[in-house]
Amino acid sequence: MISVVNGVTSLSLSSSDRNICEETVDFYSDVVGLDVQELNSNTTVASSDETKFTVQIVHSKDSRSKDDTIRERDALLEQCKVADWRSTVSSVSLQVSDLNSLITALRLRRYPVQVTPNELYPNEVHTIDPMGTLIGFTTKSNPMTVVPPVVKLSKNVVPQSAPMSTVHSDLYNTDHPAKRRNIAVMTSGGDAPGMNANVRAIVRAAIFRGCKAFCVMEGYEGLVRGGPEYIKQMSWQDVRGFLSEGGTNIGTARCMAFKERAGRLKGCKHLIEAGIDALIVCGGDGSLTGADLFRAEWPSLIAELRDTKQVTTEQYETYKHLNICGTVGSIDNDMATTDATIGAYSSLARICQAIDYIDATANSHSRAFVVEVMGRHCGWLALMAGIATSADYILIPEKPSSSKDWQEQMCQIVSKHRSKGKRKTIVIVAEGAITSDLQHISANDVKDVLVDKLGLDTRVTTLGHVQRGGTAVAYDRILATLQGVEAVKAVLSCTPETPSPLIAIEENKIVRKPLVEAVKITQSVATAIENKDFEKAMSLRDSEFVEHLNNFIAMNSANHNEPTLPVEKRKKIAIINIGAPAGGMNSAVYSMATYCMSRGHTPYAIHNGFAGLARHESVRSIDWLEIEGWNSIGGSEIGTNRSTPEDTDLGMIAYYFEKYQFDGLILVGGFEAFVSLDQLEKARIVYPAFRIPMVLIPATISNNVPGTEYSLGSDTCLNSLMDYCDVVKQSASSTRDRAFVIEVQGGNSGYIATFAALACGAQASYVPEEGITLDQLESDIKSLRESFAVDSGMSKAGKLILKSTNASKVLTTQVLADIIKSESDGKFDAKTAIPGHVQQGGLPSPIDRTRAARFTVKAVEFIEDRFEDIAKHKYSVDFAYDDATASSTAAVLGIKSSHLRFKSIRHLYDFETELGKRMPKKISWADARDIADQLVGRTRIEKPIGV
């Protein structure tokens, strides 16, 4: 252990490990702020005239080994937990002007920190440099003296922003790679909303893990040009405000030079010059193909640079392997092996918003509109927009027909819709739409057919680059953030033998996929289309794409074509909304009814919940024209309330079920719907009318239904709350030195507060699962003071704190704001903002619309498949309450990790539910809270949730 006398003005440090030497140089340069001068390849001097302090760092084979350094550091770190460091080893003391900023810098770089006298009012701070030297800082002019051991604020501080026991770099954590990594991120190809959120997450996640973060400006063009202008080191503050901005702030450009080996050779050299050993690329399949080719060629490229003396042998040994990871930024959602790409749902939101507007004028004039959307090789946008807006017809490249067939089919469907009383016609055309002989179908071609053959007053709207514009929706911000954090983890854990990973999402789970395989499958779709092998092209799309297409075709033929089921298999199926309104409820009713009609079932709507049924016999068969346009309407058109069957009249409900001879029931709602399904299932033993398949589709902004990680309405709520927060944050930024405490709905669930914080970059979020402790509040106020000090005078410096309504009954939103303002020492102001029921949203989001369609189709299929399992017990006098097969016919349809599944209400209610709290026992989104805190540098006082 190297120890020096307190007050010494110079140090000489040495190690046999070059990485440790580089770490030490970075510490004295980046943190202490000394000027660095390299005397030779083995000796560097860091000094400052202002501090009168000089450090000489020497790389010598005769010095201590890396293992010895780690052992000595570990011993000192252990002492940190029980004693004051200064009582165990001598230290060097330096005077600084701003101790709070220094503490923030140390923690952001994950150096161990010990503060005296306490965390709230720091007077002195100590840390350990990579060589094992104890370095102290103070604002006092006299040297520090030994004091009694420091007592930590809490014994359970979670290492989110590097409290005392957290370490700076990989050197101090044997679970990490041995070398401090330099990670670069670049965006390439077409821009997509959410790319900025991805860049922000990568930069901050890299810094949080003790790495240096770089941005390659202007995509591959910047890589080829090189230099500090194009390969920039990024600080924590450099990505402030990125979340709410569209496009990509670090630029993207086409680069023909990189397609040639000479261009890639330049890129290799420039990365080595910048010291980068890991590259994360956010782009489409072309960009990721280039990235993987770059990695494959890297050994030959760096060898050529060594042989031509453009890099040294030492540089060759240090950078002979390049780790690459891909995150997919593409509005087309055309990448195989992932359910969604960054920007796709933002683009879909623009399209749906435009078509919703067009709907009104089309209906007013009884016109037809042909809307052209992007998608040269992929029809995902056109397909999902068709489902979300109830379009009459779509044309996509994956499912073409002959020139004659598509015209006849479209005219037939449009004519039938018009004959049923529909006043408007919407046809959506992907820009890559083709005939079966590969002839392009333009929007004007479609217009001519509608005018010439049907005589419709027709207009063409080409949305163009509007689809790329604007800020990202909540889903894309969250997806981009989670994928960015996972990408950093991936490059840090990859070895030279690990295939380049692609960060993907399956249902609700972030996963790693082989990048080469994903790109290969994606590009083979275009090849299959060129070869007119459309069946293969469809098979190469993920199963969800095919599922959505089949659903659209089925719902689009509702009540107009011959049903697909024989008469004897047709059922009477009812749908009911229970609980508070949620975005997507109307979409669920529309999708259920139209799919039932296409199959031959008779759909019924039970209006105004169970109370309406028991008191007013509120059962109505659903008319196709009546529900036309419901997809884009918020709230609940059939009415909803919180009354459960037992709250009203269970016997009367059974009577009406028997009267209408329902063969199946779909409940759409939140926790009240969950309780209702349990009551109906239990009542089967007394009331045979309930011995039918019953399915709950969770729909609540609180997302608190056991058995699922996603509920309809939660995405609509997040978007509404995110828009609200963006406006409030803009106000806070304009005023400077102001924080807003925003009250968030969600009952006893912190889901909305957590993911809104992730989407908006809130400084803290308080949720019912954790409550609000005084220790945590004290820590957060201290963090706010430091943050405002760092951001003083800067733009985009507004601060938000989100507080779930039920996080604390004592610390209300106003009380929190008053406390924060009182404890701010006059450095900043604190206000409240309460969005209230605005959070329920207006128009449902495209995600809630399309998932409602998917879920209701699954629910109808469940009723069809499971009908016989319970029907055989319909009038059995010895019906067994605990019959497992019968019990499984009352189920919750939900997303669990990477699966969409049905789960018995009996199992969920009895084993996975906290009834008193109206919550599932296990919280699926706890990890998201950790990430939200990490990316704003928040220290969270440990209180485990969801265990």
Q: Specify the 3-state DSSP secondary structure of 42.
A: coil
For residue 297, give the nearest of 264, 325, 331 by alpha carbon.
264
**Residue 606 assigned as binding residue:** no
**Residue 701 assigned as binding residue:** yes
**Residue 226 assigned as binding residue:** no
**Residue 218 assigned as binding residue:** no
**Residue 746 assigned as binding residue:** yes
**Residue 524 assigned as binding residue:** no
**Residue 658 assigned as binding residue:** no
**Residue 327 assigned as binding residue:** no
Angle between helix axes 474-493 and 344-365 (nearest 10 degrees) is 160
Residue 638 CA: distances (Å) to CA of 556, 613, 620, 849: 22, 12, 10, 16
**Residue 465 assigned as binding residue:** yes
Residues whose CB falls within 8 Å of the CB of residue 448, separated by 6 or more in sequence, listed in order: none
For residue 663, give the nearest of 685, 692, 684 by alpha carbon.
692
**Residue 599 assigned as binding residue:** no
514 vs 326: CA distance, rounded Å: 10
741 vs 687: CA distance, rounded Å: 50
**Residue 702 assigned as binding residue:** yes
**Residue 523 assigned as binding residue:** no
Tokens found for residue 782: 């201290």
662 vs 654: CA distance, rounded Å: 10
725 vs 742: CA distance, rounded Å: 8
534 vs 833: CA distance, rounded Å: 53
Residue 218 CA: distances (Å) to CA of 185, 223, 250, 344: 11, 8, 6, 22
**Residue 287 assigned as binding residue:** yes
For residue 197, give the nearest of 391, 413, 402, 484 by alpha carbon.
484
Tokens found for residue 507: 């249902």
**Residue 376 assigned as binding residue:** yes
**Residue 209 assigned as binding residue:** no
Tokens found for residue 925: 């989104």
108 vs 848: CA distance, rounded Å: 37
265 vs 715: CA distance, rounded Å: 45
Give the pairing of strands 619-621 and 602-606.
Answer: antiparallel
Residue 699 carries which DSSP code?
Answer: B
Residue 567 carries which DSSP code?
Answer: G
**Residue 750 assigned as binding residue:** no
**Residue 374 assigned as binding residue:** yes
Q: Specify the 3-state DSSP secondary structure of 36.
A: strand
Count of Cβ atoms closer than 10 Å to residue 732 Cβ? 24
Tokens found for residue 723: 């828009």
**Residue 616 assigned as binding residue:** no
CB 271 within 8 A of CB 321: no
The one-letter amino acid code at 425 reads T
**Residue 45 assigned as binding residue:** no
CB 699 within 8 A of CB 670: yes
Q: Specify the 3-state DSSP secondary structure of 487.
A: helix
CB 574 within 8 A of CB 666: yes
Q: Specify the 3-state DSSP secondary structure of 375.
A: coil
**Residue 703 assigned as binding residue:** yes
**Residue 367 assigned as binding residue:** yes
**Residue 418 assigned as binding residue:** no
Tokens found for residue 640: 């909803």
**Residue 255 assigned as binding residue:** yes
For residue 45, give the nearest of 16, 75, 25 by alpha carbon.
25
Using alpha carbons only, give the angle 142, 148, 150 rounded to the nearest 5 degrees: 95
Q: Which residue has the tokens 């037809």?
A: 368
**Residue 7 assigned as binding residue:** no
**Residue 455 assigned as binding residue:** no
**Residue 254 assigned as binding residue:** yes
CB 371 within 8 A of CB 405: no
Strand partners of residue 440? 434
Please tell me which residue in 26, 129, 332, 933 is annotated as part of the active site: 332
**Residue 839 assigned as binding residue:** yes
**Residue 730 assigned as binding residue:** no
**Residue 837 assigned as binding residue:** yes
Radius of gyration over every alpha carbon of the chain, rounded to an integer in angstroms: 31
Q: Cα-flanking dihedrals φ and ψ of residue 148, to 5°?
A: -60, 160
Q: Which residue has the tokens 């590097």?
A: 162
**Residue 284 assigned as binding residue:** yes
Q: Is 332 a catalytic residue?
A: yes
**Residue 42 assigned as binding residue:** no
Residues whose CB falls within 8 Å of the CB of residue 611, separated by 6 or more in sequence, listed in order: 641, 643, 647, 648
Tokens found for residue 237: 């503050």
**Residue 467 assigned as binding residue:** yes
**Residue 477 assigned as binding residue:** no
- Tally the residues of the chain: 947
**Residue 32 assigned as binding residue:** no
Count of Cβ atoms closer than 10 Å to residue 294 Cβ? 22
Instruction: Please report how many Cα atoms fall inside a 13 Å half-sphere around the Cα of residue 571, on the Cβ side.
Output: 24
Which residues sit in the known binding site? 190, 254-255, 284-287, 330-332, 367, 374-376, 431, 459, 465-468, 642, 700-704, 738, 745-747, 831, 837-840, 918
Annotated binding site for ATP: 190, 254-255, 284-287
Going by the annotation, the residues of the binding site for Mg(2+) are: 285
Q: Which residues are annotated as a binding site for beta-D-fructose 2,6-bisphosphate?
A: 642, 700-704, 738, 745-747, 831, 837-840, 918
Q: Which residues are catalytic?
A: 332
Q: Which residues does the annotation place in the binding site for substrate?
A: 330-332, 367, 374-376, 431, 459, 465-468
